[in-house]
A and B are shown apart, each in its own frame.
Chain A
Amino acid sequence: MSRLKNPARRTFLKSSAAVGGGLIIGVALPGGLRDALAATDSKMNAWIRIGSDNQVTIFCARSEMGQGVVMAMPTLVAEELEVDLYKVKVEFAPPGEAYINAMLGGQLTGGSTSVRDGWDKLRIAGAQARIMLTEAAAAKWGVSAADCTAQNGSVVYKGKKASYGSLAEAASKLTPPKEVKLKDPAKWRYIGKPLKRLDTAGKISGKTEFGIDVKLPGMLYASLAQCPVIGGKATAVDDAKAKGMPGVKHVVRITDGVAVVADSWWQAKQARDALNITWDEGPSKGLNSEMVFAGLAGAMSKPGATIRKQGDVEGAMKTAAKKVEATYEMPFLSHSPLEPMNFTADVRKDSAMLIGSIQFQELAMGMAAAITGLKPEQITIRTTYLGGGFGRRIDCDFFAQAVEISKTIGAPVKLVWTREDDMTHDFYRPASLTQMTAGLDASGKPTALSLKLSSPSVTARLIPPLVKDGVDPLMTEAILVPYDIANQSVATVIHDTGLRVGFLRSVSHALNVFANESFIDEMAVAAGKDPYEYRLGLLDKQPRFKKVLQLAAEKGGWGKPLPKGRARGIAVMEGYETYMAQVVEVSVVNGKIKLHRVVVATDLGMVINPNIVQQQIESNIVFGLTAALYGNITLKDGRVQQTNFHDYQLLRINETPKIEMHFVKSTEKPGGIGEPGMALLSPAMANAVYALTGKRLRKMPFSLA
């Protein structure tokens, strides 16, 4: 998801988005922190709590799923607060108005927005608290605050020194300053430094608590049978055998299926397998992949929504010396985070304690209130670390299921999906078709471009009010080429294929960048030009694109000789306000594409933490290579055919290429880095394979057969 242009604040949830199970959300969130503060703790604002023992706690309002928010966000607060970042305790924030992501309009982690949304907000929060602590010290000593200095968790004045812990209570009673002056970047102590992550120690010792690790007193375990065709319902259940199995406590029917609750998860799972359920397979009964792509192709005949209309495309095509045409095809993808969906819920008559791995706390709160009938004030939601998310945990179906089971049985319960449940009941990255046509003049320069994308819309399912006049802003990311082409027409057709879809890392960038950056390569070939020079010649009005493209070409040795059997490909994009180019080197071994080397040039504006930025780029290359070589969810008889990692392969260490990263030094505001690299890898690879073999790969995952 990229930035939503001018999100009417809270449109998102106040407009009663309909979500899984027909639940209606739109609750008011609690105003601030509701956790009972220890008597010795003082709350400086929604982000900072300081104990009389000097322990500083910073709240992280985004979900940590590997991308490093648990490091990046406290860094911004600590920089201005003047505390030792490595002595800070980080807690995940509960649902609350203060924690809404202004770029997305909800308390949600996604769209590589965490740092961009928090960039000013968190530094200001840190500075406000620092000023209040300084004022408290000044008042205590009867001196001017202007003469006092905050440093390393204390305020000092001449020979005097007072720790934040000793000042916090008095400071918390002061009015926060409205105007704060943020630090001069030259004085940054943490921002811009390749700092080590705060969460590594727990993650190498098995101590970090993920959702699946949560344990409550008296907790039972659940396994849920869902209809093999998503959207179907149980019509009859024979649970006689299951009920007699060891450890089984309950068999309950909930909206999404039939749950077995037992003393241990393994017992619950064994008994679930012994259920005999009759399903009404629902509206997607009989659906298969051929029908999906026939539907997407059929939808191309609709006019769709206009995204760009510029010049006279028809006229320019008529007079073109050469025409280039291509259709690109993308499959459904599964998120497959390594921690399968799970959630722990303890729903009581007058309260609920809900703990686990989620990306969308606000949606969860709305669903919990709707299911339990409790008020948000009675509901506590605690987010743990996430064992991967990639967008899957924006949807809260598994959360709602756990809440429903706990409510029904009146006991705390941990619901854990199997890998097979996870893969067959995902919200899949939309499949798509993109039809492109270009007209070139006699010199090979493009004069006209037309593009039409046909794809299901995640937004139409999850946040329908955001789709206006048929335009889904999250389906059109990077759909406009950066190249200077006089006549252009770009349109999209939303087509529901019958399989539910969700936001997956890089969202529609992946669809659109693959089509656009493959097609510009096809245009260069038709023009008889070098693909790098051809792009460069069309980017005069796009300096940031041009710079990363040049940097990638230079560092990647574009045009330089390669060993026999290898070739290079290039591609460039903008996403999440980050500009990136990649040069890749491929070969073909036994009919299989091998990616040897990826050179990545990035301009993401100012960098908070180069260490995490590099992690994210590495991560995106591996994620993108999985999609390029393997990712393919197919349907037969309404069922997703892939069930586990034997038939839905994820990239392994032996297939990982050499990754080299280069950065454009920039003082622009920070761009997002969690997602763009993934979208860009596939066209760069397809272009390299074309250069090597002459075969143009227009369909993912890639196959040379």
Chain B
Amino acid sequence: MASLDINGKALEVNADPNTPLLWVIRDTLGMTGTKFGCGAGLCGACTVHLDGKPIRSCSTPLSAAAGKKITTIEAIGASDVGKKVQAAWASLDVPQCGYCQSGQIMAATALLTEKPKPTDADIDSAMAGNICRCGTYPRIRAAIHKAAKGA
């Protein structure tokens, strides 16, 4: 049994402590907004926040998440920054297939929380870990700037 604080709720989870957090979130808790892309921390599709920092849930064991505050895409709109990011994403029609976008939004929200007015170089370094095979990068960049302006 592990105790998780996920999206503001305290939950008890019965899973092997070595299980990657991703699979606990998706399969055990049934929250499927967080995606499986590579299983190796290379693509960012599984990005969630652990105590506000973006992490790769596919390579973070359950044991490392216990006791920390976990936020997923399902609750990101509850924060002011997350809400602005989602609004900017909607306003610029960022998603295509949409599969990576949960991870992109989690990464962008973390960036804007830390740096409310990011430069292009800041965006490059914060977002380069998140792959979008559809190539929505020009709109992701524009949406981050838009969110920084208050969307």
B127 an interface residue at 8 Å Cβ cutoff? yes
A255–B136 Cα gap in the complex (Å)?
Answer: 38
Known contacts: A615-B96, A644-B40. The answer to whether A653 contacts B130 by CB under 8 A is: yes
Q: Are A265 and B93 in contact (CB under 8 A)?
A: no
A354 an interface residue at 8 Å Cβ cutoff? no
Q: Are A651 and B27 in contact (CB under 8 A)?
A: no
In chain B, positions 38-76 with a C-beta closer than 8 Å to chain A are 38-40, 42-43, 45, 72-74
In chain A, positions 188-214 with a C-beta closer than 8 Å to chain B are 196-197, 199-210, 212-213
Instruction: Find the A residue at minimum CB distance from B98.
Output: A203
Instruction: Find the B residue at minimum CB distance from A646.
Output: B42
In chain B, positions 66-101 with a C-beta closer than 8 Å to chain A are 72-74, 77, 86, 89-90, 93-101
Known contacts: A204-B105, A618-B136, A621-B135. The answer to whether A338 contacts B16 by CB under 8 A is: no
Q: Are B97 and A266 in contact (CB under 8 A)?
A: no
Q: Which residues of A contact B74 (CB under 8 A)?
A: 205-206
B19-33: CB near A (< 8 Å → 1, else 0) gives 110010001101111
Q: Which residues of B contact A618 (CB under 8 A)?
A: 135-139
Choice from A337, A338, A646 contacting B40 with Cβ under 8 Å: A646
Q: Which residues of A contact B95 (CB under 8 A)?
A: 66, 197, 199-200, 203-204
Q: Are B96 and A419 in contact (CB under 8 A)?
A: no
Q: Are A387 and B98 in contact (CB under 8 A)?
A: yes
Q: Are A204 and B133 in contact (CB under 8 A)?
A: no
Distance of A279 from chain B, by nearest CB (Å): 23
Known contacts: A336-B133, A340-B37, A656-B137. The answer to whether A204 contacts B127 by CB under 8 A is: no
Interface size, A (range): 35 or more
In chain A, positions 364-390 with a C-beta closer than 8 Å to chain B are 385-390
Q: Are B128 and A653 in contact (CB under 8 A)?
A: yes
A141 an interface residue at 8 Å Cβ cutoff? no
Known contacts: A266-B20, A387-B97, A656-B135. The answer to whether A206 contacts B130 by CB under 8 A is: no
Known contacts: A197-B93, A212-B35. The answer to whether A338 contacts B135 by CB under 8 A is: no
Q: Which residues of A contact B127 (CB under 8 A)?
A: 652-654
Q: Which residues of A contact B125 (CB under 8 A)?
A: 654
Q: Which residues of B contact A208 (CB under 8 A)?
A: 98
Known contacts: A200-B90, A212-B36, A265-B23. The answer to whether A653 contacts B97 by CB under 8 A is: no
Q: Which residues of B contact A200 (CB under 8 A)?
A: 89-90, 93-95
Q: Are A204 and B43 in contact (CB under 8 A)?
A: no
In chain A, positions 342-374 with a C-beta closer than 8 Å to chain B are none
Q: Are B27 and A659 in contact (CB under 8 A)?
A: no
Q: Which residues of B contact A646 (CB under 8 A)?
A: 40, 42
Q: Are B130 and A338 in contact (CB under 8 A)?
A: no
A45 an interface residue at 8 Å Cβ cutoff? no
Distance of B136 from chain A, by nearest CB (Å): 7
Known contacts: A645-B42, A653-B127. The answer to whether A204 contacts B135 by CB under 8 A is: no
A437 an interface residue at 8 Å Cβ cutoff? no
Q: Are A619 and B73 in contact (CB under 8 A)?
A: no
Choice from B36, B40, B94, B123 contacting A653 with Cβ under 8 Å: B123
A264–B16 Cα gap in the complex (Å)?
Answer: 11
Distance of A594 from chain B, by nearest CB (Å): 13
A204–B94 Cα gap in the complex (Å)?
Answer: 9
Known contacts: A266-B19, A650-B131. The answer to whether A419 contacts B90 by CB under 8 A is: no
Interface centre among A213, A615, A651 (most CB of B within 10 A): A615
Q: Which residues of B contact A418 (CB under 8 A)?
A: 39
In chain A, positions 208-238 with a C-beta closer than 8 Å to chain B are 208-210, 212-213, 215, 221
Main secondary structure of the interface of B (DSSP, over half): loop
Number of A-B contacts (CB under 8 A): 176
Distance of A398 from chain B, by nearest CB (Å): 14
Q: Which residues of B contact A399 (CB under 8 A)?
A: none
A264–B90 Cα gap in the complex (Å)?
Answer: 34
Choice from A67, A339, A623, A645 contacting B131 with Cβ under 8 Å: A645
Q: Which residues of B contact A651 (CB under 8 A)?
A: 135, 137
Q: Which residues of B contact A265 (CB under 8 A)?
A: 23, 27
A30 an interface residue at 8 Å Cβ cutoff? no
A223–B13 Cα gap in the complex (Å)?
Answer: 23
A67–B136 Cα gap in the complex (Å)?
Answer: 12
Count residues on chain B whose CB falls below 8 Å from chain A CBs.
Answer: 57
Distance of B96 from chain A, by nearest CB (Å): 3
Interface centre among B31, B34, B38, B90 (most CB of A within 10 A): B38
Q: Are A385 and B36 in contact (CB under 8 A)?
A: no
Distance of B142 from chain A, by nearest CB (Å): 11
A65 an interface residue at 8 Å Cβ cutoff? yes
Q: Are B137 and A204 in contact (CB under 8 A)?
A: no
Q: Which residues of A contact B30 (CB under 8 A)?
A: 215
Choice from A197, A210, A621 contacting B99 with Cβ under 8 Å: A210
A68–B97 Cα gap in the complex (Å)?
Answer: 8
Distance of B104 from chain A, by nearest CB (Å): 9
Q: Are B23 and A385 in contact (CB under 8 A)?
A: no
Interface centre among A416, A645, A652, A653 (most CB of B within 10 A): A653
A390–B97 Cα gap in the complex (Å)?
Answer: 11
A204–B123 Cα gap in the complex (Å)?
Answer: 19
B134 an interface residue at 8 Å Cβ cutoff? yes
Q: Which residues of A contact B90 (CB under 8 A)?
A: 196, 200-201, 204
Q: Are B38 and A644 in contact (CB under 8 A)?
A: yes
Interface centre among A67, A204, A206 (most CB of B within 10 A): A204
Q: Which residues of B contact A622 (CB under 8 A)?
A: 132, 134-135, 137
Q: Are A221 and B135 in contact (CB under 8 A)?
A: no
A611 an interface residue at 8 Å Cβ cutoff? yes
Instruction: Find the B residue at minimum CB distance from A617.
Output: B135
Q: Are A67 and B33 in contact (CB under 8 A)?
A: no
Interface centre among B36, B39, B86 (most CB of A within 10 A): B36
Known contacts: A266-B23, A645-B42. The answer to whether A338 contacts B93 by CB under 8 A is: no
Q: Which residues of A contact B130 (CB under 8 A)?
A: 652-653
Choice from B27, B100, B102, B139 contacting A264 with Cβ under 8 Å: B27
Distance of A248 from chain B, by nearest CB (Å): 13
Q: Which residues of A contact B123 (CB under 8 A)?
A: 653
A66–B93 Cα gap in the complex (Å)?
Answer: 12
A340–B35 Cα gap in the complex (Å)?
Answer: 10
Distance of B32 from chain A, by nearest CB (Å): 4
A656–B142 Cα gap in the complex (Å)?
Answer: 13
Residue ranges of B at the interface with A (Cβ–Cβ < 8 Å) = 15-16, 19-20, 23, 27-28, 30-40, 42-43, 45, 72-74, 77, 86, 89-90, 93-102, 105, 123-125, 127-141
The 7 closest A-B pairs by CB, nearest first: A206-B33, A622-B135, A387-B99, A203-B98, A66-B97, A66-B96, A206-B73
28 contacts across the A-B interface (CB closer than 8 A)? A199-B95, A200-B90, A201-B90, A204-B98, A204-B105, A205-B73, A206-B34, A210-B35, A212-B32, A264-B19, A336-B133, A338-B43, A338-B133, A339-B37, A385-B97, A387-B99, A419-B39, A420-B39, A618-B137, A619-B135, A620-B135, A622-B132, A623-B134, A623-B135, A650-B131, A650-B133, A652-B127, A652-B130
Known pairs A203-B95, A204-B105, A615-B96; list 6 more (Cβ under 8 Å). A65-B97, A201-B90, A204-B94, A210-B35, A265-B23, A651-B135
